[in-house]
Structure 1
Amino acid sequence: MIKSNQASPREQHITIVSETFPPEINGVANTLKQLCQGLIQDGHTVTVVRPRQRHESKGLTPSAGEALFSREYIVAGLPLPGYADLRFGITTGGELRRLWQTNRPDTVYVATQGPLGVAAVSAARKMGIPVSSGFHTNFHQYSRYYGVGVLEKLLCSYGRWFHNRTDITLVPTKKMQQVTAKMGITSTGVWSRGVDCSRFTPKKRDESLRKSWGLDGNSRAVLFVGRLAAEKNLKMAVACYERIRKLHPRTKFVLVGDGPMRKQLEEKHPDYIFCGIQRGNDLARHYASGDLFLFPSKTDTFGNVVLEAMASGLAVVAYDDAAAREHIHHEENGIKAPLTMDERFISGALRLVNQPTLLNRIRDQARLDALKLSWNSQVEQFEQLVLNQSPKARYYANKQQSISLL
């Protein structure tokens, strides 16, 4: 990993606590995968604490498969309401303190704010271990999409209480830093996201896959990748595609992912192409085989799929928010619409389909800009924000300063 000229922290033991972790598929799990790999490559020791997935047993396990952790501690898990494929962790601060007394971490990073996260923050505070948190998900905004909007203020208050008990809260964009400040979260730092451009690349475009979707060389694939759930604003994606199809009947709508809305969408739109969950190279092939990418979400704190689509050479249509706000330049490498103007979202997508020259120019520029967004730089930023605050890092920094004064 290429480092900047800033002093990097010495090798440390970091514990990452999360209710979700690979092989689960979502933005948080993907971000933690990249973070863990980067930290291990930098020589750090990484212990992951997460809920049990499926038929796993509780306890410490050695690292297996991809080098995502040095050790792993699995706690009991229960299904998350509305997200049966995800689980929240059940443990106590006392159990975590016993674990950390045996093998004390230099710092703890809590990625999710469920019961496991609460126990981890409490344990770290009692033991005097530096603890940071991540603002990965807008749970308080999700309530609007599930008919319980009255809970939004309560969830917002809970988020403020949770994050203010940690030393620093990492947010993925400058806008989210403003949002969390309005929530009353006092100490934040911007830690963005990267993309693996060797995995996600236009070179993986698969004409046989496109043919299986019913496409020929002159027709377009409108792609959606993500959880098929209400908070992703799928109604807008559907409305946008239907407007496109009226003018371009040979266009296909391809949805990659799964979720509670899939059955409803399949019944109402049997002509849509539902590819289910895709992983690894298969996911990269699906991205690269599309043409236009719709990201209609108004609740994502970032949206890793935007960068993956750009790296794959797709023209992204999104609202001026989250990853699009940070990385898409309107009509240069994508199309952005104001959050309150749904018609602008649709008209932007229509313009791309109607103007092949503009579409192709944007696709080429999206790939070029994605090449600048490496995960290496983001792992380094995490180290500067989190690991440099630990007693070990401060000790070595003070020691180095003392030596330089001699």
Structure 2
Amino acid sequence: MKIVDVCAFYAPKGGGVRTYIDRKLAAAPGFGHELTVIAPGPCDELERRGPGASIRWIASPAFPLDRNYRYFGDPVALHDALDAERPDMVEVSSPWRSAAMVAEWRGRAPSALIMHSDPLSAYAYRWFDGVASRETIDRHFGWFWRHLRRVDERVACVVSASGDLSRRLTDGGLCKVVTIPMGVDPGIFSPKLRDEALRRALLARCGLGPDAMLLLGAGRLAPEKRWPMIIEAASAAGCQARVGLMIVGAGRERTRLLRQIGGNPHIRLLDAVADRPRFARLMASADALIHGCEAETFCMVAAEAKASGLRLIAPDRGGASDHARGSGDIRFRSGSAADAAAAILRLFADRQRPTKCARPRTMDGHFRDLFALYEQIARARCAA
């Protein structure tokens, strides 16, 4: 099967979507499929990633709010690229303009919307949660739900990786939602990578001894990740317990976060770690992962933490909450620094309890289920 993924979020310096797409490019040929990713880039270019895997870059303007990304600005160029690829199945990985562009394409291949983003949680709910109820916010953003329902009518399925997001999409009137959880890169993350010497060194950088608890935060330094809330929570908990926090990431909020951390010796901000084995070793050497974003559609970093044997402190909404269901995990009220601080203290008091590490779902398991769904859709289309 020839699969084309129209991915407006793919960028060389991207985050979870880039990780997901890179793994899909590596996995698809192994399942007997050819995969081409169409992405916005600085110029028209075809990048080969090996037999049966490639990226077709389309010259596109820079995204004004984040210069690491670009957006599809020319529907004709996108349609021409789809015509040239002649796919059996088309994915679109953004619910915004590119979804409408793919819906308007006159090709015969069925299409699927992959919900790699949750715009209402990332923006509307975060901005107005303290002012209005979710129902009221949804009513005022009815135009977005109408847009999603129109896309839902045109595609063969809407793929969600989180049960929480799937429920909200279905409640919003979408009829073709399918939940297919993602997973971690196979063979990278493991509790066996725990390095006590590294843990001691990281705690020492936080001005703490080995009897302290080391929290890890990882991800883009963007507003929707709620790092200021996590820093506030860790600072408050640190007044009552020996807690160190390491935040690993890059993004436009870095200066603001450094200013907020100020002279607190127990919180450190590290550069993003692109080396996956090195990041896996760092992950396994912490005591728990703390995450603040309730807008995750799956939360890859939480899945990686669980695969590394860590406990989770996560919000009670969004993709991260789906992972924080183990006996040693704690969920806090989304958006509440006070509740997150209380969760840190609860975990500190219970930190000696042994944890069980379940066998993690891998990304290859996700792709197996996803491609099987596409094959089913293609067979139904041929029969019709």
Scaled to the shorter chain, the TM-score interval is: 0.7 to 0.9
Separation (CA, whole Å) in 2 of partners of 1:120 and 1:388: 21
Could you list the runs of 5+ residues in structure 1 that have no partner in the other structure?
Answer: 1-11, 399-406
8 Å Cα contact 2:190-2:280 kept in structure 1: yes
> What one-letter code is carried by the residue in structure 2 that aligns with 1:260?
R
Structure 1 residue 50, shift from structure 2 partner: 0.2
8 Å Cα contact 2:122-2:294 kept in structure 1: no
Matched, 1:276 2:271: yes
8 Å Cα contact 1:88-1:114 kept in structure 2: no
Partner residue of 1:198 out of 187, 193, 197: 187
Aligned to 2:134: none
Separation (CA, whole Å) in 1 of partners of 2:335 and 2:126: 20
Aligned to 1:108: 90
Equivalent residue runs for 1:52-67 within 5 Å: 52=41, 56-63=42-49
Shift in alpha-carbon separation, 1:144–1:115, aligned structure 2, 3 A = closer
Q: How many residues align?
A: 366
> What one-letter code is carried by the residue in structure 1 that aligns with 2:229?
M
Equivalent residue runs for 1:4-403 within 5 Å: 12-21=1-10, 23-52=12-41, 56-63=42-49, 70-92=53-75, 94-123=76-105, 126-144=106-124, 152-196=141-185, 198-206=187-195, 207-208=197-198, 210-211=200-201, 213-214=205-206, 215-249=208-242, 251-270=243-262, 271=264, 272-279=267-274, 280-330=276-326, 332-339=327-334, 343-358=338-353, 361-362=354-355, 365=356, 368-369=357-358, 371-391=359-379
The answer to which of 349-358 and 102-111 deviates more is 349-358
Pairwise CA RMSD: 2.8
8 Å Cα contact 1:142-1:231 kept in structure 2: yes
8 Å Cα contact 1:50-1:75 kept in structure 2: yes
8 Å Cα contact 1:143-1:152 kept in structure 2: no
Separation (CA, whole Å) in 1 of partners of 2:177 and 2:163: 10
Separation (CA, whole Å) in 1 of partners of 2:126 and 2:248: 22
Aligned-residue sequence identity (percent) comes to: 20
Separation (CA, whole Å) in 1 of partners of 2:148 and 2:15: 20
8 Å Cα contact 1:140-1:156 kept in structure 2: no
Shift in alpha-carbon separation, 1:82–1:155, aligned structure 2, 3 A = farther
8 Å Cα contact 2:199-2:286 kept in structure 1: no
Structure 1 residue 340, shift from structure 2 partner: 7.8
Structure 1 residue 44, shift from structure 2 partner: 0.6
8 Å Cα contact 1:189-1:385 kept in structure 2: no
Q: Which whole-Å deviations, capped at 9, do the CAs of 1:358-392 have from their partners, x for residues lacking one?
A: 2xx23xx2xx22x231222211110222232115x
SS in 2 for 1:228: coil
Structure 1 residue 339, shift from structure 2 partner: 4.2
> What one-letter code is carried by the residue in structure 2 that aligns with 1:89?
F
Normalising by structure 2, we get a TM-score of: 0.85
> What one-letter code is carried by the residue in structure 2 that aligns with 1:59?
E
Shift in alpha-carbon separation, 1:122–1:81, aligned structure 2, 3 A = same
Shift in alpha-carbon separation, 1:264–1:180, aligned structure 2, 3 A = same
> What one-letter code is carried by the residue in structure 2 that aligns with 1:78?
P
